[in-house]
Amino acid sequence: MENFWSLQLGVIFLLLQVWASGSCEAAPPCQPGFNLDHSVFRVDRRHLPQGWIVGKVTFDDCTGRKRFLFISEDSRFQVDLDGNIKLKRAVTLHEGHTSFAVHAWDSNGKKLSTRVTLENESGSHSQHLTPGDTAGQVESSSDVPVLVFPQLSPGALSRQKRDWVIPPFNIPENAKGPFPQRVVQIKSSNAKEVQILYSITGPGASEPPEGVFTIDRNSGIVYVTQPLDREAQDQYVLMAHAAAVVGGKAEDPMELIITVFDQNDNKPEFIKDTLLGSVSEGSQPGIQFMKVVAIDKDDPLTYNGQVTYSILNQDPKLPNDNMFMINSQTGAISVASPGLDRENYPEYKLIIQAADTQGQGLSNTCTALITVTDSNDNAPQFVKDSYTVSVPENKVGYVVVKIPVTDNDKPHTPAWNTKYTIVKGNEGGFFSVSTAPNKMEGIITTAKGLPLDKNNKHTLLVTVENEVPVANRVPTATATVIVQVLDVPEPPVFNPTENVIAVSEDLPVHSELIEYTATSGPDLAKKTVWYRVGSDPAGWLNVSKDTGLIRVKSPMDRESPFVRDGNYEALILAIGNDEFPVTGTGTLIIHLEDVNDNAPTIDQREITFCSEDPQPVQLSFTDRDGPGNAGPFRVEVRGCSRNDWTVETTPGVHLTLKSKLEQDEYPIVLRVYDTGDKFQDSVVLMKVYDC
């Protein structure tokens, strides 16, 4: 570590002193800079070991100095103070070459650059480096670099402090120690005359994070006390101070910049481990449809922090294993080959790798799940291409035919759903076509009644399409429907069409009610008519199929909710037995005569009385029978309760407390009679209060 710092900083103070000592005399004709804008060094192998010197750059700042501070843009290479380029770690020239910039500063603080290229080229006349070459070993001083506070000569007093540019010091992150390690020694030019005490201030020294850097107050040696993490803080800006023990400040404060040199200690991290994307089937190569993103916390200006993307695996590998490609720099995923087909390969899984160091360093992976979406590349097809059907005359809304179709696209999408058109044969507007609820069937119905005339046959041409256009040009499927119009006989007619009868509600089961028949139409013989019940809400009736005789099937009840105003209504059907059955309808109204088959009940379930001066309470009743079988009602108090309670029936029915009772609840039994002496006992709770 000490060699590393000495190679970087050993003569920085000379650079600053030469800059400060400029005089008013004209400078000799010299142009600072590297001797070459681009240096090419050739080696005889692709794998270069750590410690090799691969070449040397030459720099002149027109001051006569031979040693300079160099900075390599590629963190794998170190440039020593004498210009030797040395490998900090083993390097493989994967592409046979690599190139990077090297920077240095002239005496005025101006940064100058050159480019260095390494090439693996066998047979070159250039010097080849092998493990036995002495050029691979470098000796350097172990002294810590010294940085002297700048001094202005009298001829340069007009220069401003802000013109000073002091190159930063580079410290690699994650150093293994031992600590503390020496970084640089600061020195005052007045140290020979007076005793100087040195100090450093700023974040990392006297401010948080405190104690990362310390200084020996007497020698001026600056130490780093712990491993550094570039991702936590990549630069420290300190102020160096020199003060005389006697007399105070010896120098103006000097800025000391320490840059943390990046090591490849972070692998790329994907923002999401699993990403979902979709691409339309039939997409052409080059169509970009999704993007993955990975972040590397290392220095983005070096290969350590630059991410390279690649596809490691595709599943399934059909129709070939190169269906997708990824932009190695941006992570954009595109279609690479034609042939995406949802019906055969609806989903793909890609394993994506993100790696630093040009794809050869630390790496991580994520999964991209790609759904191939439907693009309507399959047109619907009729199951059959022709139908012949018969339709009765004069029927509106009659279902002529249902025409099923098939479609290989994704179900229940606009590319699968269908719509139908009658393109020929419907000039009279007799037919309409609609789509069934399942979206895969066309339904043709009559829009108007078809007349029976000379033109008793209609030939319809029907087409089917999806709700969205087909992606490729294919013929539209068609089906032919031939419709024959058939003569339909007139339906039977009931006489009368509404038949009213009156019977007692307690008529026994199986009793005959009425023979309700219909007259055949002119096209039907009487024997071809048969009967059935069309509507019987309470299920009380049955009808003879052959004769139309109606009987009681189950007990009838005038108080049923199906009875309105004492009337029960049923529909009787007379059906002509023909190829196209025709039906006549008759309405049977049964007036149910009331019988006393329901006992009355008391409406109240609880009644309140005062124990003192109780007032009579009027009772109310319910009887489901008709007026002749209901009230007037009379009431009896049953059991021992008659000792304390009495009923008065004029006017109305009133219950009265006739004895003084304690505050309590008293259940009593009341028997209620209707006008036909049909009765029912009810329990009523009497609540007596002191009031």
Q: What is the pLDDT of residue 571?
A: 95
Q: To the nearest whole number, what is the mean pLDDT of the chain?
A: 84
Quick one: DSSP state of residue 293?
A: -
Are 174 and 227 contacting, i.e. CB atoms less than 8 angstroms apart?
yes
Q: Could you tell me the two tokens for 493?
A: 């007619």
The answer, yes or no, to whether residue 166 has pLDDT greater than 70, is no
The 10s digit of each residue's pLDDT in 450-490 is 888 767 899 999 999 999 888 777 789 999 999 999 877 77
Residue 5 binned pLDDT confidence (cut-offs 50, 70, 90): very low
Q: What is the pLDDT of residue 499?
A: 92
Q: What is the CA radius of gyration of the chain?
A: 54
Q: Could you tell me the two tokens for 372?
A: 């191939």
Q: What is the pLDDT of residue 477?
A: 94
The answer, yes or no, to whether residue 364 has pLDDT greater than 60, is yes
Which residues, in sequence order, are CB contacts of 134 under 8 Å at separation 6+?
Answer: none
Q: What is the pLDDT of residue 42?
A: 82
Q: Residue 366 and residue 378: Cα distance in Å, rounded? A: 34
H helices then E strands: how many in the chain?
2, 55
Beta carbons within 10 angstroms of residue 478's beta carbon: 15
The answer, yes or no, to whether residue 141 has pLDDT greater than 60, is no
Parallel, antiparallel, or unpaired: how do β-strands 235-244 and 221-224 relate?
unpaired
Q: Residue 79 and residue 69: Cα distance in Å, rounded? A: 8
In this prediction, residues 408-415 reach a mean pLDDT of 89
Which residues, in sequence order, are CB contacts of 120 under 8 Å at separation 6+?
Answer: 42, 43, 44, 45, 46, 93, 96, 97
Q: What is the pLDDT of residue 313?
A: 97
Are 302 and 114 contacting, i.e. CB atoms less than 8 angstroms apart?
no
The 10s digit of each residue's pLDDT in 377-395 is 889 999 999 999 999 888 8
Q: What is the pLDDT of residue 297?
A: 92
Give the DSSP H/E element, type plus range, for residue 8: helix 2-9
Residue 159 binned pLDDT confidence (cut-offs 50, 70, 90): very low
Q: What is the pLDDT of residue 308?
A: 96
Q: Residue 590 and residue 571: Cα distance in Å, rounded? A: 11
Q: Residue 411 and residue 330: Cα distance in Å, rounded? A: 36
Which residues, in sequence order, are CB contacts of 414 under 8 Å at separation 6+?
Answer: 376, 466, 467, 468
In this prediction, residues 410-434 reach a mean pLDDT of 93
- The label of the residue with tokens 């089937």 reads 281
For residue 525, give Cα distances in angstroms to 490, 575, 659.
Answer: 11, 12, 82
Question: Rounded to the nearest 5°, which phi and psi values hold at 12?
Answer: -60, -35
Identify which of 89, 93, 102 has the alpha carbon closest to the alpha carbon of residue 39: 102
Q: What is the pLDDT of residue 396?
A: 93
Which residues, in sequence order, are CB contacts of 451 under 8 Å at separation 6+?
Answer: 393, 394, 485
At 340, is the secondary structure helix, strand, or coil? coil
Q: Residue 271 and residue 292: Cα distance in Å, rounded? A: 8
| CA dihedral (190, 192, 194, 200) positive or negative | positive
Q: Could you tell me the two tokens for 326?
A: 């990824």
Alpha carbons within 13 angstroms on the beta-carbon side of residue 96 total 3
Strand stretches in 467-614, DSSP E: 478-486, 493-494, 498-504, 512-515, 518-519, 529-535, 541-543, 549-552, 567-576, 582-593, 601-602, 606-610
At 174, is the secondary structure helix, strand, or coil? coil
Q: What amino acid is encoded at 461 in this protein?
A: L
Q: What is the pLDDT of residue 2?
A: 42
Peptide bond just before 508 cis, omega within 30 deg: no
Beta carbons within 10 angstroms of residue 509's beta carbon: 11
Q: Percentage of residues in the chain with pLDDT exceeding 70? A: 89
Residue 21 binned pLDDT confidence (cut-offs 50, 70, 90): very low
Question: Rounded to the nearest 5°, which phi and psi values hold at 303?
Answer: -65, -20
| CA dihedral (505, 509, 511, 516) positive or negative | positive
Are 662 and 688 contacting, i.e. CB atoms less than 8 angstroms apart?
yes
Q: What amino acid is encoded at 210 in this protein?
A: E
The 10s digit of each residue's pLDDT in 630-680 is 778 888 888 888 888 888 877 778 888 888 888 888 898 888 888 878 888
Q: What is the pLDDT of residue 135?
A: 28
The answer, yes or no, to whether residue 368 has pLDDT greater than 90, is yes
The 10s digit of each residue's pLDDT in 303-353 is 889 999 999 999 999 999 999 999 999 999 999 999 999 889 999 999 999
Q: What is the pLDDT of residue 523?
A: 54
Peptide bond just before 316 cis, omega within 30 deg: yes
